[in-house]
Structures are given as C-alpha cells and as structure tokens.
Structure 1
Amino acid sequence: MKKLLTTLMICLALLPIHAQAESVPDESDDSAIYEMQTQSGEIITTRAGRMYIGDEYISADNQLYRVIAVDDQMCIAIAEHLGEEPAAGISAFAHAETQAQEGKSKHIAMYSTHSDESYEPTDGASSLEEDAGIYDVGHALKDALEEHGISVEYSEATHLPHDAGAYRRSRRTAEELLKSSPDVLIDIHRDGIPDPDSYETEVHGEEISKVRLLVGRSNPNADANREFAKRLKAAADEKYPGLIKDIFIGKGNYNQELFPQSILLEFGTHTIDKDLAIAATKPMADVINTVVFGGSAKAESTASIEESTSGFKGIGWLIAIAVIGSVLFALISTGKWRLVAEKFSRSASEITGGTIGKKPKDKS
C-alpha cells in the first residue's frame, strides 16, 4: 500500500512539470525539421522547429490548416483542412488611410532575436557569432523603409547564444524599442529548412526570396498579430504576387504580446543566396508602408509637387490680373485712357482694313 501511495505521489508531483513544459515551448528549437502533412499523407509545408497540436497554417493560396496530431520521433505533424481563411478586415486599412491623411509621423522599430543567423552560399556558414548575414538583410529593409519617409530604429543588440533563452534576452531589446512608440515592431529572421527551392522565386521579373510570416498564438495579442499578418499578406498578394510564402501560427509568443502590430519576418532560408533575401526587402517595405501608413512617400511628394504647380499657376493669374487692373486704373485716373483707346482703335482698323476700329483720315 505504501509503495502504491509513493508512486501516486511521484506521478502527481511530475504533472505540473509536464504541463509547464507543454505550455511553454522552446521557441528557438529550430534544429529539427518538421513536416506538416494532410491526413492522407500529402505534404503541406515544412518548418525548422517543432510543431504542436493546435498550430495553424495559412498557405500561399489562403487555405487554413490546423495540426491535430504530432509524431515527434518522425518529426511529422498531421493537419486537418479547415477551408479558406477569411479575408483580412478592412478597418485596419481604413486606419492606415486616416493616418496618411492626417500626416502623422511614421516610425518602425526592428531587431533580430537570432543574432547568428546567416546564409551559407554568401556568408560561408549558416551561423556566425560576428557579422551575421541577418543584419545585412535588416539594414536593407531599414534603407527600403526609409525611402518611403519612415523613420526606422534597428537595434543591433545580440542575443547569443541561439538557444531557449534567446527570446527572453531579446524581450529586453523589444521593450527598449517600444519606448519610442513605433507603429510596428519587427523581428527579422531567416528560416532553417534545407531546401532553397521552397524560398527562391521570381516577382515582377526579379529573382528574390519569399518571406514567411510567423505569429505566436500563445499571447493576449494573438488575434491582433494574426490580423496584421493577414493584412500584410493580402497587400503583398495584390502588389507582389508570390512574395509572401505563407503564415505560420505557432505555439509560443515570440514577444508579440508586447505590441499588437508585431510581426516576425523570415527572409528566405540558410541555403539561399543572401542577395535574394536582400532583394525581397524593397517589395516588403512597400507592402508594410501600404498597410500601416496607407501609401508611399514618393506618391505623396508627387502629389505635393502637382498641388504646388497648380498653386503657382493660380497665383500667376492673380498677379497678372492685378497688374492689368493697376495699369488701367492709372490710365483712367490720368486721363490718358482716351488716347490709348484711340490709338488701339486706329491700329486695329489698319490691321483689319477698316473692318474693326476707327478708320484713319485720308491725308490726300
């Protein structure tokens, strides 16, 4: 009897530990490559990192899947098809238009949790503790956003090592960045799946990398984060078809509970050329500017120039009318108006052969 009670006590003691491990996933565990499959065995997608029951996936064609079973030994997740994901709400787009019309300042904050992530073909290794390739991608995105008149604060703080504590360390960076009240908080990554073909693509005739959007579902802002990701994908699908690879909604929070417009962007994977990831930053910046701020600074500048030109034309006409009015007033007030009128009449008559104006007297 004592033996049975002891066994039960040990089991009860272990339950909370098991529950905690299940509720707090290792968000940096991307060493294993998991494959998401349909119930019939068809491959849906792959991901560097563990998949959990309840994870969701929005494919390139906006089909929604939810994981219902996971085999951790085989690294396979079975997902059910839930149909098409509802379109992004338009209220957020209306907010962006309002913000653009009100002329509010535009500010974005960025950082990279996995400070070692790099691109093997270009950087020589997939992980570098110094001069990691992910920062080149981050700076390219920063430059592209600034071309749209957006102020960008990109923290180069490192959060090494690339382990289970990386997001805890990067949380401090994110909190510091939020003190500047940004409109968007971006965590810049690259994927770790081995197949480069899953990310290499061509958009509008240019070879670039696809971008995966990652949302954490275990946080109070999960719905807002998800909606923001859907808005980005919707805008990208319209302007740059093929740019957004998909949206993965995984267990964890990725520090996204700190801000409703937080997003994790994965620019390609470690086996692609870094230049492809950098090439994707320009269209991605345009998409972010469109969704968050309702348009580009270049378009606004062009409109301003046109308005200024119209204004100058209007002012020119007003000045011309004022000058003519002043001359006429001066002529009338000095009594010279009649002389000018007679001279104009004679000139008109000479030009038209007497049809218009006063005929000149015949001196003969």
Structure 2
Amino acid sequence: MINKKVICLLCLTFIVMSLQFSYSDDWYDDYGGYYRVYDVKSGDRLFETARDVTRGDQYLSGDNKMYKVVRVNTSSKIAYAEFIEDITLPEIDELAFESIVFALRNNIGLENFLVQDEDRRVGIYCTHTAESYTPTDGSESIEDGGGILKVAESLKESFEGHGVEAIFDNTSHVPHDSGAYKRSRRTAVQLMRDNGINTLIDVHRDATPAEAYLTELNGEPASKVRLVIGRNNQNFKANEEMAWKIKSVADKMHPELIKDIFYAQGGYNQDLTPNAMLVEMGTYEHTRERAEKSTEFLSEALTTALYGGTFTDQKDGEKEEVKPQKESNAGSGTGIAALLAIIGGGGIAFLFLSSGGKEWRSKVSNFKDEFNSFLGRRKKK
C-alpha cells in the first residue's frame, strides 16, 4: 500500500512540475490539415486557417464584420462563429492621407510627408523560420532557412525605401513546435533592447489552400495579408487598435491587400509592446514572389498608419506614448485552472490507490458534504 502512495505522489508531482512546459501559442499539424470556420446561422464559409481555433476566438472579415467562434470540432477541424457587430475602423484625416498618396504616386519620397520625424524604427523577425513557399522553394518547410526569411528581408527593404529604419533578425527558431514562440521571444526582446525599438513585426505564412490569398495589386500578382492578434496578452486592446489602423489605411490605399484579422487564443509575444503585429504573408501553396510583392504595399500601409499622422487622433504630429510593459500574466487564469484540475484529479487518484474502492467513495462523499457546507456558510455572509 505504501508503494502505491509513493508512486501516486511521484506521478502527481511530475505532472504539476511539467505543466509549465506544456503551454504554447499554437502549432500546425501535418500539412493539408487546417480549420474551416462557418457562419453558424447561414452556413457560409467565413475563413480558413492552419492555426488552432478555439471557442472565444474572433474574426474581423474583409468587409469589417466581427464574428466570434462558438463551436469547434477539433477532430474534423470545423468550427462555427456567430456574427457580433459591424466594426467602424479608425477615422482617417483625409488631408494628411492625400498628401501621402500624392507622394507615393509621384515618387517624391514618403519620408518627406511623415508627421513623425524621429524613432521611425521597426524590428522584424520570424518565429517559424523554416516556413517556405512550395512552388518557389521546393518545399513547404526548410530547416536551414525557409523562404519566409526572404519575404521578411523584402519587407525590411521596403520599409527602408520609405524612410523607416528596419532591423531584421533572421535568428533560427526551429523546430516548428510548441516552444518556437519562447525561443523567438528572446530575439524580439533583444531587438527592442539593442535598437530602441517599440514596433515588432513577426512574419509568417499560412498553411491553407492558396485560393483565398490570391490577389492582384496594381495589376501584378500578389498575396493577401492576414493580421493576427493574440487574445492572451495585456496589450490586446492596443494591438487591436494598431491592426485596425493598418487595415483602415490599407483598405483605402490597396483594397485587396489586407484579407482579414484573426483574434487567436495565443499571446504571440505581443505583450512585449503595444505596437506588435503578426502577419501572415499568403500561404505555402502559392509562389514566394507573390508574398514579396505584397511587402511593398504592406510597408506603405504600415508606414502611413504608424508614422503618417493620418488619423484624426494624431493631428499635429501627436503620437501615443509607448510605456514600458510589466511582465505579462497572460494565460495565468488558464494555467491556474488547469493546475487545479490536475491536482484535483491527482487527489482523487491518490485516494483511490491509497484506499479500498468503498473507502475512497466514502472520502469523496465526505469531501462533497464538507465543500457544500463551506459554500453554504459563504453564501450567508
């Protein structure tokens, strides 16, 4: 009987100690598997994503309709979402915006029309450095460095063409597993610390069929871009505002550029700064050149949204102060709940192994009586 108790306690201790290593933002299954999300009322397909979909995730469609995921079947990878509301994106200052469009159309130089003169610095990195584009790179994943790195480099060069200092860190974070975001977090922190950066862009590509991402921009083949916001981080509202501003500008500049915005369960290191964004540059089924072409237009939209003074709350060069963020407790509620569930389950297992079948049921029954009595006393207070 003593051996059973010892074994049970050791197992419970191991589970609790390993819990902290089990969390991840998300990771893809084998290629070819992806979620399909439908409107729960009409049955129309809303979107597809290779990221994990969970209840509570939200989705802003290309026409600015907000949906919330209400049901998920992880086996079939089918989910359903309900319509919540129509969203009005941040209002653009037309005079400031037109001056920027004039500069772009006449090759005058966007940097000459930006309201923010200083601190125009962006940090770029790739959490999933092996991601690639099969038609161009020959594989969907290349451990030594995927095509996504070339897309990120193209984004860097496009930023620099608009007077924005862009620093791209191509540090490898392979493998593509549940620890990738923890490894890339070190890269993101170093980018911020070493370069005085408060804007971070994590460059990815999706793993769904190509059709939904294919588009043309200025008559040239390109890919649409999905913005991804992590719901489990303290900067969620600021990250959302940033995404809305990017989409507001892009919808006027290049209506086919921003595909949609997905509010996923993870944190994606966006707790590090209010100006953090994850971008999905198309998908692995189309050519890398399409994604590289889109970086030209994405850099225009990002530069304008971040530094152009193009919103009614940014007149006269006013910009929001980026304050240092405290260490995030994102996901702590989920972790605590999981921990309590494991401890509770382990306690029941311990009772069963350390007592006879009848005796453990008696102990559980007594515990329920005591717990109900405790709740009764609490309600009377």
**Contact 2:114/2:304 (CA < 8 Å) preserved in 1?**
no
Corresponding residue number in structure 2 for 1:335: none
Corresponding residue number in structure 2 for 1:28: 27
Corresponding residue number in structure 2 for 1:204: 218
Alignment of 1:258-277 (within 5 A): 258-277=272-291
Residue identity opposite 2:181 in structure 1: Y
1:287 is the counterpart of 2:286: no
Unaligned runs of 5+ in 2: 101-110, 311-381
Corresponding residue number in structure 2 for 1:73: 75
Alignment of 1:1-364 (within 5 A): 24-31=23-30, 32-40=33-41, 41-88=43-90, 100-101=114-115, 103-179=117-193, 180-193=195-208, 195-294=209-308
**Contact 1:30/1:192 (CA < 8 Å) preserved in 2?**
no
Q: Per the alignment, in what secondary structure is the counterpart of residue 267 of structure 1?
A: strand
Per-residue CA deviations over 1:41-61 (Å, capped at 9, x if unaligned) read 221111002100000000110
Kindly state the Cα deviation for residue 205 of structure 1 after the two structures are TM-superposed: 1.5
Find the aligned partners of 1:181 and 1:54 in 2 and give their Cα distance: 35
Find the aligned partners of 2:70 and 2:51 in 1 and give their Cα distance: 17
Considering only aligned residues, what root-mean-square deviation do their CA atoms show, in Å? Answer: 2.8
Find the aligned partners of 1:204 and 1:229 in 2 and give their Cα distance: 23
Q: Per the alignment, in what secondary structure is the counterpart of residue 280 of structure 1?
A: helix
Q: Which structure carries more relative contact order (alpha carbon 8 Å, separation 6+)?
A: 2
- Structure 1 pair 262/250, CA: closer, same or farther in 2 (3 Å)? same
**Contact 1:108/1:183 (CA < 8 Å) preserved in 2?**
yes
* Normalised TM-score (structure 1): 0.71
Find the aligned partners of 1:164 and 1:218 in 2 and give their Cα distance: 16
**Contact 1:35/1:77 (CA < 8 Å) preserved in 2?**
yes
**Contact 2:25/2:265 (CA < 8 Å) preserved in 1?**
no
**Contact 2:36/2:79 (CA < 8 Å) preserved in 1?**
yes
Find the aligned partners of 2:116 and 2:259 in 1 and give their Cα distance: 33
**Contact 1:89/1:227 (CA < 8 Å) preserved in 2?**
no
Identity %, equivalent residues: 38
Residue identity opposite 1:38 in structure 2: D
Find the aligned partners of 2:266 and 2:283 in 1 and give their Cα distance: 21
Find the aligned partners of 1:111 and 1:37 in 2 and give their Cα distance: 32
Per-residue CA deviations over 1:262-292 (Å, capped at 9, x if unaligned) read 0001111000011000000101010011011
* Normalised TM-score (structure 2): 0.68
Q: Per the alignment, in what secondary structure is the counterpart of residue 66 of structure 2?
A: strand
Kindly state the Cα deviation for residue 83 of structure 1 after the two structures are TM-superposed: 2.1
Per-residue CA deviations over 1:290-343 (Å, capped at 9, x if unaligned) read 0111079xxxxxxxxxxxxxxxxxxxxxxxxxxxxxxxxxxxxxxxxxxxxxxx
**Contact 1:183/1:292 (CA < 8 Å) preserved in 2?**
no
